Amino acid sequence: MTDTDTPAPERSSAGSYRLTEDIAAGLFLFFVSAFFIWKAWELPLGSLRAMGPGMLPMSISVILGVGGFLLALSAFVKGGNIITMPHVRGLFFILGGIVLFGLCIRSLGLVVAGPVSMIFASFATNEVRPTEAVIFACAMTAFCIILFKYALGLPIPVVAFI
Amino acid sequence: MDLMNNLALGFGVAFTVQNLFLCFIGCMIGTLVGVLPGVGPVATIAMLLPITFGLDPTGALIMLAGIYYGAQYGGSTTAILVNIPGEATSVVTTLDGHQMAKQGRAGAALGIAALGSFFAGCVATVFIAAMGKPLTKLAQLFGPAEYFSLMVMGLVFSTVLARGSIFKALLMVFLGLLLATVGTDLETGQERMTLGIQQLSDGVDFAPLAMGIFGFAEIIRNLESPEARDVVRGKIGKLMPSWAEIKQSTPPVLRGTFIGGLLGILPGNGAVLGPFASYTIEKKIAKDSSRFGKGAIEGVAGPEAANNAGAQTAFIPLLTLGIPPNAVMALMVGAMTIHGIIPGPQVMTKNPDLFWGMIASMWIGNAMLVIINLPLVGMWVKLLKVPYRLMFPAILIFCCIGIYSINNSVEDVYFTGFFALVGYVLIKLGFEPAPMLLGFVLGKLMEEKLRQALILSRGSFMTFVERPVSGVLLAIAVIMLVVALLPSINKKRDAVFQE
C-alpha cells in the first residue's frame, strides 16, 4: 500500500524521553531475544565441529538482542519518528473474528462459524452497516459452503451441532 | 534438439483439458487478487493449498504458478486505473500509468502493460527452459558450503531491497532465522523451544505465519489508514496502443525483460527490484526525462515487462537448486512436498513432465492473461468499486477456511491469529516483514547446510571463504551490503523507494 498521503509523522529530537518507533522496535527485539535465550538455555551447545541443538538458537538470539539494543540506543541518541497509537478497534475485532471462527468451527460447523466470525469482524471499521454486514455474512457463508464443501470437496464441518 | 523435445513434452502435458482448465483458473484467481489491493498472492496461495491436495502435482503447481504471475498482470490494472499498486511489484506503474489514465489514455496504458508483460513472459519461459539444464548441472557441483553462501547472499539481497533501514531489515532476517529453529532438532531429535506445544514440535508452520502476516496483519493495517480510491471515471479508451506508441515502447520492453529476468533469478525476491531498476534506466536514457511522471509510456512498458519477467525467472532457483527465492516460492515448496516431490536439481530428471509441463503452462497462461486482462478489464474495474468494509470480512472467512483445512486443525487458526498480532506489531514498529519471512523460509535449510559444511571442514569457518564458488558468493553479498550502506547510494536508495 502507498503511504504517500499520510501526514508526516511527528519527530522527536535527540535524547528526548518520548517513545520513538525505533526505541520501541529495539526493545521489542531485545525482549524477544531474551525470551528465546531463556527457552534455549538448557539445550546443549555442542562445538563448531559438531553443533548441538542449542548452538544456532543461542547465537542468533544473542545477535538479535545485541542488534535490538543497538537499534534502541542509536534511536535514543538520534531521535526519530514518534510511535503512533495502534488501531485497537481493528486489532480487537479482526483477532476476535479469527478466535470465534476457531471456537465455533469444530463444535458448531461452518453454518455458525461463518456468519458469527464475519459479523463480528465487520465491526473492525467505523463504516460498518450492521444490516448489510449480516446479510453479506450469511450470503458469503452459503457461497463458501457450496464452493469449499461441495465444489472442492474439503472436509470442513458444515453442520456439527445436530 | 533436446530443448525442442522437452518443450514438446511440456506442451503435451500442459495441453490436456484438465491442465488447461487449472491454468485458466489460476490465471483468473491471480488476476483477481492482483487487481484487489490488500490481497496478495502469498495469502491466496496459502489459502488455496488445501484445494491442491486432491489434484495431481503437475496440475496443482500449474494452478499455483498461474496465481503468482497472474497477479503481476492484475496488479498493473489497479496501478493504472486507481493509482494504488495492486501488488508490490506494480508500485512503479502508478507513476506514469495513472497519469496516462488521467489524460484519457488508460486503454493504451493497459494495452502496453499487458502486451509488454506478455512479451516478457514468453521470453522468460524460453529462458527458464534453456537455463534449466545448465543450472541443474551447476547445482550438482554445489556442496553444503556453496548452498549456505548462496542463501546468505539471498538474504543480504532481500535486506538491501527492503524499504526503510537496512539494519532493521537485517534484524528481521535474524528474527526469521530464529523462528525457523523452533521445533525438533534435525540431528539429535531434541525438541527446541517448543514451549510444550505439541504442534510446534514439527516447527512453526509456514502457512499460518505467512497468512497471519500477509493476510490478517495487512487487513488491520489497511483499516487503520483508509485509502482514497479515485477510480478513473470516464472512458478507458481504445485498448490497442497506436503504432507510434508501440514503436516507442519496444526498446523499454526489451530492456525491462532483460533486467527483470536477470534480477528475478537472484534469491532474495529480486522480482521486486526489476521494475524499479527498469524505471530508473528508462528515465536516465530518455531524451527528455521530464516527461516521466507525466504519462510517459516508456515508464509503463519497461517496468511492466520487468516485473513479469522477474516473476517467472524466480522459478529458476526453486526448480534447479531447491532454494525458494521468495515467500510465494516457499509455498510452492510446500505444495510440492505434500505430493512427495522434493524441489531441487532432481526434479528435472525424476519428474520431467512436471518440470516441462509447468514451463509450457506458463507460456499458455501468459497468452490467457492477455485475454483475461484486456477485453475483460471492465469487469475488474467494477470489482474495484466493492467497498473495503465488505471486502475484508470476505478475505477473513476465506483465510480462516483455508488455514483450517490445511491440517483440519483449529490450533492452526489460533496460530494464524497470533502471527497476525505479531505482524501488526512489526508493521507498527516500522519493520518490513518480507525479509523475516525469507529468513524463516531459508532457515532450516541453512542450518542443515551450515552444520554439514562445518562437519566436513572440522569446525573451520574458513571453508566458506576458501572454496572458490562459496567465497565469490559471500564476496558478492559483502560488496552489496557495503555499497548499499555507502551514504551516497543510501540516499539514492531512499529516493528510489520514495518515488
Q: For B92-118, what is each residue's pLDDT tens digit?
A: 888 888 888 888 888 888 888 888 888
Taking 90 as the threshold, does the pLDDT of residue A99 lie above it? yes
Q: What's the CA dihedral at B384, B388, B390, B391 to 10 degrees?
A: 70
Nearest to B405, CA basis, from A31, A25, A97, A155 = A155
Same domain, A22 and A92: no
CA distance B499 to B484: 18
The pLDDT, as a whole number, for residue B422 is 92
Same domain, A73 and A102: no
Q: Which residues contact B270 (CB under 8 A, 6 or more apart)?
A: B157, B161, B263, B264, B310, B314, B325
- Does residue B70 contact residue B27 with C-beta atoms inside 8 Å? yes
Are A60 and B174 a contacting pair at CB < 8 A?
yes
The pLDDT, as a whole number, for residue B130 is 83
The pLDDT, as a whole number, for residue B185 is 78
HEC sequence for B59-77: HHHHHHHHHHHHHHHHHHH
- Residue B215 grid coordinates: 493476510
The pLDDT, as a whole number, for residue B420 is 92
pLDDT (tens digit, 9 = 90+) per residue, B398-441? 888 888 888 888 888 999 999 999 999 998 888 888 888 888 88
Same domain, A67 and A118: no
Question: Chain B interface, mutation test: which of A5, A37, A60, most B Cβ atoms within 10 Å?
Answer: A60
Which residue shows C-alpha cell 516431490? B341
User: What integer is the mean pLDDT of B446-450?
Assistant: 87
Grade residue B175 by pLDDT with cuts at 50, 70 and 90. Answer: very high
The pLDDT, as a whole number, for residue B495 is 58
Taking 90 as the threshold, does the pLDDT of residue B33 lie above it? no
- Does residue B48 contact residue B68 with C-beta atoms inside 8 Å? no
The pLDDT, as a whole number, for residue A19 is 76
Q: Give the ranges where chain A is alpha helix by DSSP (H).
A: 21-40, 55-78, 88-107, 110-122, 130-144
CA distance B71 to B28: 9
The pLDDT, as a whole number, for residue A8 is 53
Is A33 within the bounds of a domain? yes
Nearest to B138, CA basis, from B7, B378, B317, B380 = B317
Same domain, A71 and A122: no
Nearest to B260, CA basis, from B247, B248, B249, B274 = B274
Grade residue A2 by pLDDT with cuts at 50, 70 and 90. Answer: very low
CA distance A142 to A154: 15
The pLDDT, as a whole number, for residue A94 is 92
User: What integer is the mean pLDDT of B272-297?
Assistant: 80
> In sequence order, what are the beta bridge partners of A20?
A82
Same domain, A16 and A35: yes
Taking 60 as the threshold, does the pLDDT of residue A162 lie above it? no
Residue B173 sits at the vertex; the CA angle it makes with B168 and B178, to the nearest 5 degrees, is: 120
Same domain, A73 and A105: no
> In sequence order, what are the beta bridge partners of B51?
none
ipTM, two decimals: 0.88
Q: What is the CA radius of gyration of chain A?
A: 24
- Does residue B37 contact residue B219 with C-beta atoms inside 8 Å? no
Chain B nearest C-alpha distance from A144 (Å): 8
- 3-state SS assignment for residue A159: coil
Nearest to A120, CA basis, from A133, A105, A107 = A133
The pLDDT, as a whole number, for residue A97 is 93
Taking 90 as the threshold, does the pLDDT of residue A117 lie above it? yes
The pLDDT, as a whole number, for residue A92 is 93
Other beta carbons less than 10 A from residue B158's beta carbon: 31
Q: With pLDDT > 90 as the criterion, what percentage of chain B qualifies?
A: 4
Taking 90 as the threshold, does the pLDDT of residue B214 lie above it? no
Same domain, A80 and A92: no
Nearest to B401 among A3, A51, A156 (CB): A156
Nearest chain A residue to B411 by CA distance is A102
The total of structural domains in chain A comes to 2
Q: A27-31, B82-86, B303-307: lowest mean pLDDT where?
A: B82-86
Which DSSP string do the residues of A52-91 spell out, in sequence order? -TTHHHHHHHHHHHHHHHHHHHHHHHH--BBPPPP-HHHH
User: What integer is the mean pLDDT of A62-91?
Assistant: 86
More confident call, B384 vs B256: B256
Check CB contact of A50 with chain B, cutoff 8 Å: yes
- Does residue B359 contact residue B128 with C-beta atoms inside 8 Å? yes
Grade residue B231 by pLDDT with cuts at 50, 70 and 90. Answer: low
Structure letter (DSSP) for residue B192 = E
Is A159 within the bounds of a domain? no
Is A107 within the bounds of a domain? yes
The pLDDT, as a whole number, for residue B201 is 74
Chain B nearest C-alpha distance from A72 (Å): 11
N-term to C-term CA, chain A: 45
Nearest to B300, CA basis, from B126, B497, B476, B107 = B107
Taking contacts as CB-CB distances below 8 angstroms, the residues of chain A near B430 are 21-22, 25, 81
User: What integer is the mean pLDDT of B154-176?
Assistant: 83
CA atoms A108, A110, A111, A112: torsion sign: positive
The interface residues of chain A toward chain B in range 129-148, judged by CB-CB distance below 8 A, are 129, 132-133, 136-137, 140-141, 144, 148
Chain A nearest C-alpha distance from B184 (Å): 9
Q: Which of A84, A111, A137 is the last residue of a domain?
A: A84
Instruction: Count Cβ atoms within 10 A of the Cβ of residue B389 and give its class: 0-12 exposed, 13-18 middle, 19 or more buried.
Output: buried
Q: Which residues contact B259 (CB under 8 A, 6 or more apart)?
A: B274, B277, B278, B281, B306, B309
CA distance A88 to B220: 9
Domain that holds residue B139: 2-498
More confident call, B185 vs B118: B118
More confident call, B367 vs B381: B367
Q: With pLDDT > 90 as the criterion, what percentage of chain A qualifies?
A: 26
Same domain, A31 and A94: no
Mean pLDDT of chain B: 82
Taking 50 as the threshold, does the pLDDT of residue A20 lie above it? yes
Other beta carbons less than 10 A from residue A41's beta carbon: 10
- Does residue B173 contact residue B439 with C-beta atoms inside 8 Å? yes
Residue A26 sits at the vertex; the CA angle it makes with A25 and A29, to the nearest 5 degrees, is: 85
pLDDT (tens digit, 9 = 90+) per residue, B34-62? 888 767 788 888 888 888 877 888 888 89
CA atoms A101, A103, A109, A113: torsion sign: negative
Grade residue B1 by pLDDT with cuts at 50, 70 and 90. Answer: low
Which residue shows C-alpha cell 464475519? A118
Is A77 within the bounds of a domain? yes
Is A17 within the bounds of a domain? yes
Q: What's the CA dihedral at A131, A135, A138, A140 to 10 degrees?
A: -120
Letter string b/e over residues B225-243, b meaning 16 or more CB atoms within 10 A of that residue's CB: eebeeeebeeebbebebee
Taking 80 as the threshold, does the pLDDT of residue A139 lie above it? yes
pLDDT (tens digit, 9 = 90+) per residue, B322-366? 888 888 888 888 888 878 888 877 887 788 888 888 888 988 998
Q: Which residues contact B143 (CB under 8 A, 6 or more apart)?
A: B453, B456, B467
Q: B350-354, B375-379, B389-393: lowest mean pLDDT where?
A: B375-379
The total of structural domains in chain B comes to 1
pLDDT (tens digit, 9 = 90+) per residue, B460-479? 888 888 888 888 888 988 88
CA distance B434 to B159: 9
Is A29 within the bounds of a domain? yes
- Does residue A97 contact residue A120 with C-beta atoms inside 8 Å? yes
Other beta carbons less than 10 A from residue A29's beta carbon: 27
Same domain, A45 and A102: no
Are A98 and B417 a contacting pair at CB < 8 A?
yes
- Does residue B431 contact residue B221 with C-beta atoms inside 8 Å? no
Which residue shows C-alpha cell 511492466? B304
Domain that holds residue A51: 1-84
Taking 80 as the threshold, does the pLDDT of residue A48 lie above it? no
The pLDDT, as a whole number, for residue A65 is 92
Nearest to B221, CA basis, from B439, B383, B432 = B432
Is A80 within the bounds of a domain? yes
Q: Which of A50, A84, A118 is the last residue of a domain?
A: A84
Q: Which residues contact B424 (CB under 8 A, 6 or more apart)?
A: A86, A91, B217, B220, B221
Q: Which of A84, A115, A138 is the last residue of a domain?
A: A84
Same domain, A96 and A139: yes
Which residue shows C-alpha cell 444490516? A131
Instruction: List strand residue ranges (DSSP E) for B142-244, in order.
Output: 183-184, 191-192
Are A94 and B170 a contacting pair at CB < 8 A?
no
More confident call, B452 vs B138: B452
Taking 60 as the threshold, does the pLDDT of residue A153 lie above it? yes
Grade residue B264 by pLDDT with cuts at 50, 70 and 90. Answer: confident
- Residue B175 grid coordinates: 528474527
Q: A121-130, B380-389, B396-405: lowest mean pLDDT where?
A: B380-389
Same domain, A92 and A106: yes
Taking 70 as the threshold, does the pLDDT of residue B258 lie above it? yes
CA distance B104 to B84: 18
Is A157 within the bounds of a domain? no
Residue B186: CA count within 13 A, CB half-sphere: 16
Taking 60 as the threshold, does the pLDDT of residue B213 lie above it? yes
Taking 80 as the threshold, does the pLDDT of residue A10 lie above it? no
- Residue B279 grid coordinates: 524505471
- Does residue A55 contact residue A45 with C-beta atoms inside 8 Å? yes
Same domain, A93 and A111: yes
Mean pLDDT of chain A: 82
The interface residues of chain A toward chain B in range 69-88, judged by CB-CB distance below 8 A, are 71, 81, 83-84, 86-87
CA distance B496 to B499: 5
The pLDDT, as a whole number, for residue A11 is 63
- 3-state SS assignment for residue A46: strand
Grade residue A9 by pLDDT with cuts at 50, 70 and 90. Answer: low
More confident call, B1 vs B95: B95
- 3-state SS assignment for residue B184: strand
Chain B nearest C-alpha distance from A14 (Å): 18
The pLDDT, as a whole number, for residue A81 is 79
